[in-house]
Amino acid sequence: MTSTKTPVRIDVVSDVVCPWCFIGKRRLEQAIALNPDIPVEVHYHPFFLNDWIPAEGISREQYLTTKFGSPERYKDIAQRVSAAAAEDGLVYAIDKVSRQPNTTDSHRLIHWAALEGKAPEMKQRLMELYFSEGADLSDKAVLVKAAADIGLDADAVAKKLDGNEDLDAVSQRVEAAKSAGIQGVPFFIVDNAFALSGAQAPDQLAAVIQRAANERAQKAAG
């Protein structure tokens, strides 16, 4: 059994409209469950998968045409990702997604939720709304309801969304990730020592968490 006095820190760089980030979050949770004796502390960091999307979002058809050439060209990819999501107990309802949102406000929500210890719940709810329910994450009403769903103050969140609070902070954190060389998400950094890119299998993530805990224990032992 490995024990540590302080939790192993796991930093996750991802975006709420990235399907592999949706899957990667679930696999990280499964990895953590494989190491029940190792305490962990997960921190979520923003990334813009599509930084060119305007604040009001665009139609899904326009997005797929711009990025893939046509909606039809994305169908095979979407079906593979949907199948992978299903294997991890997630629902990627391809046909329900009709709008491609700008995710700046979603990342602001996650930041505010983190201040109350609810970042994982906020991130999960936003991803479920987008991938499973086809909700428009550029819609303020959707975001306010999502915040309320996890126990945040809806009125306070609505007022914050109307202003510019933490817009710069989100942008700076995204730029910091890019400056660190992160080009694709999800991206996991374990204990500031190990980096993994992509939606890794739970056992692979678990092994890295175990290794980080072992190295920390060795250092503590002198």
pTM of the model: 0.94
The pLDDT tens digits for 15-36 are: 999 999 999 999 999 999 999 9
Choices 3.40.50.300, 3.40.30.10, 3.40.109.10, 3.10.20.600: CATH for 8-52+102-221: 3.40.30.10
* 6-10: average pLDDT: 94
Per-domain residue ranges of the chain: 8-52+102-221
Q: Answer yes or no: are the C-beta atoms of 17 and 128 closer than 8 Å.
A: no
Say if strands 194-197 and 187-190 run parallel, antiparallel, or are unpaired. Answer: antiparallel
* 116-136: average pLDDT: 98
Q: What is the pLDDT of residue 220?
A: 81
Q: Answer yes or no: are the C-beta atoms of 101 and 89 closer than 8 Å.
A: no
Cα 126 from Cα 207, distance rounded (Å): 29
Q: What is the pLDDT of residue 4?
A: 44
* 83-110: average pLDDT: 97
* 87-98: average pLDDT: 96
Cα 114 from Cα 201, distance rounded (Å): 26
